[in-house]
């Protein structure tokens, strides 16, 4: 009889304990961290896609606008610098590395903007099918970069919030005490002002 009573008492207790542990937030921090890392991989993938398009774009423009050598050189140099700065998932808490990555990508964006503005001076280039296709791919890639960055920012915000809010702050201060907040993308200085192009 006491066996039946103890089983009747312990079974709901064990079930209740399992349910409370499953909703305690322990898994929230590593889950959100992995989501943020996956979003970062998406960001890098889109930047790499843009970097891969640039040599073809430069070659196409070079065929029509060889005298714009300084603009073409600036794009090639900005691409080289942007592809040299690598930020992997373990660096996402290093604000300086994220800032350097952002600045290099912003310089490449500016150089590409100047290159596309130069194309306005060359009607034959503007009507070239290869150039138009590359320009369209580049525009699509810029949109994908924007979406990937937004998704990364949202994932990082969720992770950073979990480190500071209850009940996950309990786990952040104990089991995940070594976890630091991840760096978000921030607007670069002057991003609110469109670049001026002078011919």
Residue 198 within a domain = no
Count of structural domains within the chain: 1
Residue 80 within a domain = yes
pLDDT of residue 18: 54
Cα 48 to chain center, whole Å? 11
Residue 35 within a domain = yes
Residue 164 within a domain = yes
DSSP string across 118-162: HGGG-HHHHT-HHHHHHHHHHHHHHHHHHHHHHHHHHHHHHHHHH
Contact 186, 102 (CB under 8 A): yes
Residue 197 within a domain = no
CA quadruple 125, 127, 129, 135: dihedral sign: positive
pLDDT of residue 186: 77
Cα 173 to chain center, whole Å? 27
Number of alpha carbons in the 13 Å side-chain half-sphere of residue 83 = 14
pLDDT of residue 145: 95
pLDDT of residue 168: 92
- The residue written with tokens 């306005």 in the block is 120
Contact 102, 80 (CB under 8 A): no
Instruction: Output the tens digit of pLDDT for each of the chain's 199 residues.
Output: 555 555 656 656 666 655 555 567 789 999 999 999 999 999 999 999 999 999 999 999 888 887 888 899 999 999 999 999 999 988 999 999 999 999 999 999 999 999 988 888 888 888 889 899 999 999 999 999 999 999 999 999 999 999 999 999 999 999 999 999 999 887 666 554 544 433 3
Residue 184 within a domain = no
Determine the structural domain holding residue 149 and report its residue range. 25-173
Closest CA to 149 of 101, 81, 94: 101
pLDDT of residue 127: 85
| CATH number of the domain that residue 65 is part of | 1.20.1440.20
CA distances from 9 to 13, 23, 43 (A): 6, 22, 52
pLDDT of residue 29: 93
Residue 127 within a domain = yes
Residue 10 within a domain = no
What is the pTM assigned to this prediction?
0.79
């Amino acid at each position: 009889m006491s066996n039946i009573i103890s089983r009747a008492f312990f079974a709901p207790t064990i079930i209740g304990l399992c349910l409370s542990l499953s909703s305690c937030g322990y898994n929230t921090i590593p889950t959100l961290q992995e989501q943020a890392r996956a979003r970062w991989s998406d960001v890098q993938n889109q930047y790499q896609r843009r970097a891969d398009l640039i040599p073809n774009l430069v070659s196409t423009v070079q065929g029509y606008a060889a005298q714009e050598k300084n603009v073409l050189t600036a794009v090639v140099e900005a691409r080289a610098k942007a592809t040299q700065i690598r930020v992997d998932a373990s660096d996402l808490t290093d604000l300086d590395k994220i800032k350097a990555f952002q600045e290099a990508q912003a310089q490449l964006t500016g150089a590409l903007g100047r290159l596309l503005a130069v194309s306005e001076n060359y009607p034959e280039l503007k009507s070239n099918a290869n150039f138009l296709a590359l320009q369209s791919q580049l525009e699509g890639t810029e949109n994908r970069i924007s979406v990937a960055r937004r998704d990364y920012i949202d994932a990082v915000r969720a992770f950073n919030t979990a480190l500071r809010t209850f009940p996950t702050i309990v786990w952040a201060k104990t089991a995940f005490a070594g976890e630091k907040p991840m760096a978000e993308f921030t607007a670069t200085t002057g991003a609110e002002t469109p670049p001026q192009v002078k011919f």
